[in-house]
Every structure is written in structure tokens, then in C-alpha cells.
């Protein structure tokens, strides 16, 4: 009898415990908000927050100041409130406020509201609905349509243009075998350095004319913001301290550029910057991505064909890449990554030996079979030759193309030294092997770039092409590049 009583009593206790557990689970407080952040436009605006609460809720407005909440309390059930900022943020920096929503059920949630600084006026004054006509190619499909590219360098990005591109020169480039042009461009240096970051209309029209010449000749053109005095890429500008002011200028310029160029079809690509490579830590990488994000957001906001335009971003590939730090885009498959290759730099760009202030000795010779035995041994490349280049392009393919981000090699060039150059102070003893080295470098880099599906743009400033007479000056370089494309 005693045994039966213990069993029954135990079962009853288990049932009561189970019932209590069910009641406890059923009475879990509900406040269907998550702790999150929200942003309000620099000029002000309103955000609506929707949620559900199983108890009365309220918001403490003490100290909110420029942030207004309505309503500030309510009962259980479905609810909403609005966050309103009526004023522009003229403080010169991002400002923020913490909103705390509490429920009588004991739940509480935090919403951090940010408002970016209004440093320059908005230039997105005439946005239009998205227009996909003539914009059917993804970034990868568009880049695949390119063959070989060249830069019109040291021209539109400088404030002492000589000579200015002409229609005849654009046609000459096409006839020479290049169907893509990278157009380095300055805006700050051409009148955009003013209190409102307004780009002069005459300059905008001038740039637009060059773009039109390219597009009319069925050439692809990549228009960027180049070094431009260093306001973005200069020392100390990719930092948290400079973030607000640089973002604001990036936004102002790209709203103007994108609006002016909005009617061009997919033959026109944008590039956010040039060579922002001075990144040494995660915080700087995040700041650089915010600059690229400002460009993307500004371009997309103008609407029309810009809603689908391909945009290239730049930066050190050990930071700025998918899986690392990378911007987002509301339009899928329209971002590309741009890299430059001047490796080995002693061969490609160095013009001074250590005794003259150089960081090392100038290399005159590059590649298998091209090292000199009659010149000083330190003139032969000691790094950056075929094996290093192959490893680099393989890495790029893995980090970008294999992850859905197509590539362009926006710049690559090296010095072809000649006794006929009056400015040349460093002349190789073995000119045959030097010229063969330059040829081999152009051919190998072009070939490996194309092999991974990227497209190459030689850096050209008037040493390969005569921009006045529209002729080839350095036929060996042109032939070496074309050989790499075979």
C-alpha cells in the first residue's frame, strides 16, 4: 500500500511540475524588438519602428534633444512609434542618441540612432526611377566584353592639361587595338575645392565630352576620382578623424558626376578612387570601405541607368576583399575590384639608386633568359618575376573572381630606358636584354591578367602614343601587350 502511494504521489508531483513549466513558458514576456542601430539622413527625416509587446511600454525621452519620439508610450499588442529628426546635422560630425524602450513585462531594448553630418548640400536634386535599358550586363559580363585597355594618364586628373584628349585620338586608340579607356579624372583640382564642393559645370561638360567620344566609338570607359590632390587617398585621410568630411565630399562629388553621366549606357563604368593603399589596420580598412560605400550609395540614389551601373572599388587586397572588408550594393552583381601592378617596383617605377635617395637599386633586367652578365648583378631583378607574378594572379582569382567579384588591372607599366631620351640618367649596359625584359614583362603580365579573366589597362602618359599626331611612339610595347593577348 505504501509503495502504491509513493508512486501516485510522485506522478502527481511530476504532473504539477510539468504544468508549472508550461505556464512559465507561456508567460515569457514579449517585446519583439531587437537591439539595433538606425540612421537618419543628414538633412533630417523620420523612421517608423513597428513591434509587439505583451505589456504597457514606454520611452524615456530625457536628454534626447534633437531626436523626437511619437508616441512615447502605449499598451500591449501591436504598436509603433516614429523617430523624427527635424533639423540638418550641421555639427560637422556624426551625432548619435540612444533610445531605450521598456515594457511593464520587464523587457527592454536599445535603439542607437545616428545622423551623418551635413557638410555639403545634397546634389541628388533630380533622382529618377531606375532604367535598365542598355544596362543588361553584370559587372563580369561587361568586363568580358573588353579586350585591351589603356589610360589617358597625366591629363584630366591634373590641372595643367597638355594635350587634352581629342575625338581623333580616341579613334586612333580604337584603331590601334584598344576597346577600353580608363579616364583618370580630378574634380577637387578642377574647381571642386570650394565651400560647397560644387563641380564647375564647364569642367563637368568637358569630361562628359571625352566620355561621349569613347562611347560613340563603341569603347568602354572607366571614369574615376583619381588622386585629386589627395583629399581621399592622401596621408592621414583614411582615418576615423577624417571620416565624416571625406565621406561628405565623396557623396557630393559622386552625386554630381553620376547625375551628369546618368544617360550613358553600360559602356560607362565608375571607379570610386585610385590607389588607396596606405591601409595598415582594421580600423583604416573599415573607413576606406565607408568611402566606397558613400560612392555606391550616391550613384545608386540618382536612379536611371546609374541604378545598374558597374562600379569598381580599390584598396589593398589583404583587407579590401570579400571575406575581409567590402562594401554592399543594393543592385546585385554590379561591383568590380580594381588592382594595379608595378611589381617589381625597382624595375617598373624606381628612378633613383640608393646614392640618389632611392629605396634600392634600379633593376634593368627582368624574366627568364633576360638577366645580364655584363652589367652589375644588382641590376637584375631579385623578386617579382614569373613565379611571383603567377602566384599573385592566382591569389587574385581566388580572392575575387572565384567569389563573384570581377577584376580589372587598372594600371601597369614599366620604364623602357633609351639613350635617345634626353631626360634619362640611367642607361643599361646591355640594351638588348633590357628591351627584351620590358617586352617580356608586358607580355607576361598581360597574359596572366587575361588568363584569370581580368582585363588590363596599360598606364600611358604620352610615352607610348603621340597624342598630338595620333601615332605609336613605342611600337615594341604595343606589340608586347598584344602578344600577351594572343
Per-residue model confidence (pLDDT) at position 24? 41
Beta bridge partners of 69: 83
* pLDDT tens profile 26-64: 457 888 887 877 778 778 899 899 989 988 989 999 999
Name the residue with cell 607576361. Answer: 444
CB under 8 A, 24+ apart: contacts of 423-430: 426/351, 426/353, 426/362, 426/364, 428/364, 428/365, 428/372, 428/375, 428/379, 429/372, 429/374, 429/375, 430/364, 430/365, 430/372, 430/374, 430/375
* pLDDT tens profile 280-310: 999 999 999 999 999 999 999 999 999 999 9
Cα 69 to Cα 194: distance, rounded to the nearest angstrom:
37
Q: What is the band of 11 on the pLDDT scale with cuts at 50, 70, 90?
A: very low
The candidate with the shortest Cα–Cα distance to 115, out of 79, 88, 136, 149, is 88
Assess whether pLDDT exceeds 80 at residue 2: no
**What percent of the chain is modeled with pLDDT above 70?**
94
Per-residue model confidence (pLDDT) at position 335? 98
Element housing 144 (H / E) = helix 139-144
CA 324 to chain CA mean position, Å: 13
CA atoms within 13 A on the CB side of 442: 27
Cα 219 to Cα 210: distance, rounded to the nearest angstrom:
11
**How many of the other CB atoms lie within 10 Å of CB of 466?**
15
**Domains within the chain, CATH numbers bracketed:** 36-115 (2.60.40.10), 128-484 (3.20.20.80)
* pLDDT tens profile 249-270: 999 999 999 999 999 999 999 9
pTM for the full model? Answer: 0.81
Query: Residue 113: what are its φ and ψ, rounded to 5°?
Result: -105, 125
The candidate with the shortest Cα–Cα distance to 219, out of 180, 185, 271, is 180
Assess whether pLDDT exceeds 60 at residue 25: no
Q: Where are the beta strands (DSSP E) in 345-391?
A: none
* pLDDT tens profile 461-484: 999 999 999 999 999 999 999 999
Q: What is the band of 21 on the pLDDT scale with cuts at 50, 70, 90?
A: very low
Per-residue model confidence (pLDDT) at position 419? 87
* pLDDT tens profile 90-118: 776 778 999 999 999 888 999 988 887 78
Q: What is the band of 215 on the pLDDT scale with cuts at 50, 70, 90?
A: very high
Residues whose CB falls within 8 Å of the CB of residue 451, separated by 6 or more in sequence, listed in order: 393
Q: What is the band of 4 on the pLDDT scale with cuts at 50, 70, 90?
A: very low
Cα 388 to Cα 119: distance, rounded to the nearest angstrom:
45
Per-residue model confidence (pLDDT) at position 278? 83
Task: Provide the H-helix boundaries in 373-461.
Answer: 386-399, 431-451
Query: Residue 81: what are its φ and ψ, rounded to 5°?
Result: -145, 160
**What percent of the chain is modeled with pLDDT above 90?**
80
Per-residue model confidence (pLDDT) at position 92? 65
Beta bridge partners of 465: 472
Assess whether pLDDT exceeds 90 at residue 5: no
* pLDDT tens profile 296-352: 999 999 999 999 999 999 999 999 999 999 999 999 999 999 999 999 999 999 999
Assess whether pLDDT exceeds 90 at residue 367: yes
* pLDDT tens profile 111-122: 988 887 788 999
Amino acid at each position: 500500500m505504501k509503495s502504491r502511494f509513493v508512486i501516485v504521489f510522485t506522478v502527481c508531483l511530476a504532473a504539477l511540475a510539468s504544468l508549472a513549466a508550461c505556464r512559465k513558458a507561456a508567460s515569457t514576456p514579449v517585446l519583439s524588438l531587437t537591439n539595433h542601430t538606425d540612421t537618419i539622413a543628414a538633412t533630417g527625416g523620420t523612421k517608423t519602428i513597428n513591434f509587439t509587446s505583451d505589456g504597457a511600454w514606454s520611452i524615456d525621452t530625457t536628454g534626447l534633444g534633437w531626436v523626437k519620439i511619437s508616441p512615447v508610450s502605449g499598451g500591449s499588442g501591436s504598436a509603433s512609434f516614429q523617430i523624427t529628426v527635424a533639423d540638418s546635422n550641421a555639427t560637422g560630425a556624426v551625432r548619435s542618441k540612444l533610445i531605450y524602450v521598456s515594457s511593464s513585462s520587464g523587457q527592454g531594448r536599445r535603439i542607437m540612432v545616428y545622423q551623418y553630418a551635413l557638410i555639403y548640400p545634397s546634389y541628388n536634386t533630380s533622382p529618377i526611377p531606375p532604367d535598365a535599358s542598355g544596362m543588361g550586363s553584370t559587372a563580369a559580363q561587361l568586363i568580358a566584353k573588353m579586350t585591351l585597355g589603356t589610360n589617358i594618364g597625366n591629363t584630366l586628373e591634373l590641372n595643367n592639361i597638355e594635350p587634352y584628349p581629342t575625338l581623333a585620338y580616341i579613334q586612333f586608340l580604337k584603331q590601334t587595338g584598344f576597346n577600353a579607356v580608363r579616364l583618370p579624372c580630378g574634380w577637387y583640382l578642377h574647381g571642386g575645392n570650394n565651400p560647397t564642393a560644387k563641380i564647375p559645370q564647364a569642367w563637368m561638360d568637358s569630361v562628359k565630352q571625352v566620355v561621349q567620344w569613347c562611347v560613340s566609338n563603341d569603347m568602354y570607359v572607366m571614369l574615376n576620382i583619381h588622386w585629386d590632390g589627395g583629399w581621399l587617398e592622401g596621408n592621414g585621410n583614411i582615418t576615423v578623424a577624417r571620416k565624416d568630411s571625406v565621406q561628405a565630399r565623396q557623396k557630393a562629388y559622386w552625386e554630381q558626376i553620376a547625375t551628369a553621366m546618368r544617360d550613358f549606357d553600360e559602356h560607362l563604368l565608375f571607379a570610386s578612387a585610385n590607389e588607396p593603399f596606405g591601409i595598415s589596420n582594421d580600423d583604416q580598412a573599415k573607413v576606406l570601405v565607408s568611402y566606397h560605400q558613400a560612392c555606391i550609395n550616391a550613384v545608386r540614389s540618382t536612379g536611371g541607368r546609374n541604378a545598374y551601373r558597374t562600379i569598381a572599388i580599390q584598396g589593398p587586397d589583404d583587407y579590401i576583399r570579400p571575406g575581409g572588408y567590402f562594401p554592399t550594393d543594393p543592385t546585385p552583381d554590379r561591383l568590380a575590384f580594381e588592382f594595379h601592378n608595378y611589381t617589381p617596383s625597382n624595375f617598373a617605377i624606381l628612378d633613383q639608386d640608393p646614392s640618389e635617395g632611392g629605396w634600392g637599386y634600379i633593376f634593368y633586367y627582368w624574366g627568364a633568359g633576360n638577366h645580364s652578365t655584363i652589367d652589375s648583378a644588382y641590376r637584375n631583378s631579385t623578386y617579382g618575376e614569373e613565379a611571383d607574378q603567377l602566384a599573385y594572379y592566382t591569389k587574385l582569382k581566388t580572392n575575387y573572381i572565384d567569389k563573384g567579384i570581377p577584376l580589372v588591372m587598372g594600371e601597369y607599366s614599366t620604364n623602357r630606358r633609351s639613350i635617345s631620351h634626353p631626360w634619362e640618367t640611367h642607361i643599361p649596359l646591355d640594351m638588348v636584354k633590357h628591351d627584351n625584359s620590358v617586352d617580356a614583362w608586358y607580355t607576361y603580365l598581360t597574359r596572366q591578367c587575361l588568363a584569370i579573366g581580368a582585363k588590363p589597362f596599360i598606364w600611358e602618359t604620352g610615352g607610348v602614343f603621340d597624342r598630338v599626331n595620333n601615332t605609336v611612339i613605342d611600337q615594341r610595347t604595343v606589340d608586347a601587350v598584344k602578344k600577351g593577348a594572343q
